[in-house]
Structure 1
């Protein structure tokens, strides 16, 4: 009987290939993200409310008051900067320089310049917190891009102005009427929660454009502007703004156009809601 051959199998075990360092990269990204998060939390805890408001204003998109130039745009050749401010005219610049020179002159004790110098600087600074809150409220509207040409938010000496401005092809109120369009109502209802939270009192003022010679006047201007301002107040009140927050509701007719050189154009028709600055307390030693 023949013997079967013995077969021996030799299996060569090769070392496993290198798995790579992808996990190290992922772990490094995770550690970096956590470090950035805790650094951000530390910075937030160290900043004041004014600094936070300034940061929010810096990063807020400027779509609510776009810069335009040339013959088109809401202000017809008068540009708006990224903060929504209209550049000063030569007369305004001259007036501002004269006021600064007047404040710089020495006066007797108890004079007007001493009183101005004693007031806190914060009372004349733009209310960035209010502006940021209003812009954030409007950015939640789905059609804010369409309405951006009709909304101007800008700081003034009195406080912060929120103006609902007519534009060629799009008005905020029906022609010659105190009835607002639905888009105007949506804008005001979007602003109401922010206005309700802010401590500023509100002054609402209506304006209209002048009537071209030979044209029929669309409503009596004083009643028209006062009625539109009152309609804005009623919408804000119905949206939750307390009655005690309203300081005044007035109509200015066509006496204060945005463009005195052309008082007939559409942007002169507007309703402005002003968030009034709080009056600074007079130091007791000033009156002695």
Structure 2
């Protein structure tokens, strides 16, 4: 019994082998086969969908890759390519630089000539407006009576319409900004006609050199500005668009029309300027300053005792209408 208790216990372990056709090596081979088949079908699809031009380009690249890369060549940019050298004609076997084989026509623009043409066109439009106002004055019995008090001329700033005083026929009440009834009628007729052109307008009021100063400090400067603003209101009352007004100034007696006689009633006037594009841009430009016509600027400088500024060639004396 004691010997049976000391008998060793033997445990048999069976070790299974991993070789033979039951191993996992076949999975790696199968994955390689599938990858190769996918690459093959992808290559076939690319070859089938590539145009002949692309094939020729690829062939040229592998023959002389540096030359094609630096200089391009037949087929280097196919018609269906979105890269440089491509085009839109899919029937072509070689690349296109443009959708058409016609030689490119370079367009050049002469800005100076274009600007001169626009200025000439605008000048013709202002001349047509001047003729229309003159015809309206001749056709209207009311305006025809005051024909001698209406001066129209073309200046460097545009069409200038001046309504001047006569000794026995003033436009305003004495030393006031109240317009006479006939002055209102004149401004109503002019205001309606000014809508025929897109140009903006500027108004300036003028007095003669007769000293005027009230106890409150009200002088010819305030009077001329008030008269210009009163004229603006009557132009709008006559039908002119309020947005057309760009500038309203009072110049007192600084710019006399009759320089030989500063007390002449003709110096008391309202000046309406239908501004050309150059004058309008001068007013609208940043850092602008109020400007008057070249003739008025020279006269103002002479009145102040300063040398006259440089100015363009004179446009001729005003035409009395």
Q: CA deviation at 1:204?
A: 0.4
Q: Distance in 1 between matches of 2:168 and 2:183?
A: 15
CA change 1:144–1:238 in 2 (3 A) is: closer
Equivalent residue number for residue 34 of structure 1: none
Q: Deviations over 1:49-69 (max 9, x none)?
A: xxxxxxxxxxxxxxxxxxxxx
Higher relative contact order (CA 8 A, sep 6+): 1
Q: Which runs of 5+ in 2 are unaligned?
A: 1-110, 282-321
Equivalent residues of 1:207, 1:225 under 8 A apart: yes
Q: CA deviation at 1:172?
A: 1.0
Equivalent residue number for residue 153 of structure 2: 154
Equivalent residue number for residue 230 of structure 1: 229
SS of the equivalent of 2:277 reads coil
Q: Deviations over 1:229-277 (max 9, x none)?
A: 0011001112221121001011001111112232111111100110001
Equivalent residue number for residue 77 of structure 2: none
Higher Cα radius of gyration: 2
CA change 1:180–1:116 in 2 (3 A) is: farther
Q: Distance in 2 between matches of 1:251 and 1:267?
A: 16
Q: Report how many residues are paired.
A: 165
CA change 1:264–1:130 in 2 (3 A) is: same
Equivalent residues of 2:208, 2:253 under 8 A apart: yes
SS of the equivalent of 1:178 reads coil
Report the TM-score, using the length of structure 2 for normalisation: 0.47
Runs of 4+ in 1 over 6 A off after TM superposition: 115-118
Q: Deviations over 1:98-146 (max 9, x none)?
A: xxxxxxxxxxxxxxxxx98874056264621110122233234213332
Equivalent residue number for residue 206 of structure 1: 205
Report the TM-score, using the length of structure 1 for normalisation: 0.52
Q: Distance in 1 between matches of 2:263 and 2:200?
A: 31
Q: Distance in 1 between matches of 2:140 and 2:118?
A: 31
Equivalent residues of 1:222, 1:251 under 8 A apart: yes
Q: Distance in 1 between matches of 2:232 and 2:261?
A: 29
Counterparts of 1:128-147 in structure 2, within 5 Å, are 128-147=127-146
CA change 1:256–1:193 in 2 (3 A) is: same
Equivalent residue number for residue 241 of structure 1: 240
Superposition RMSD on alpha carbons, in Å?
A: 2.6
Equivalent residue number for residue 263 of structure 1: 262
SS of the equivalent of 1:120 reads helix
Counterparts of 1:1-288 in structure 2, within 5 Å, are 119-120=115-116, 123=119, 125=123, 127-211=126-210, 220-279=219-278
Q: Which runs of 5+ in 1 are unaligned?
A: 1-114, 283-288
Q: Distance in 1 between matches of 2:141 and 2:213?
A: 35
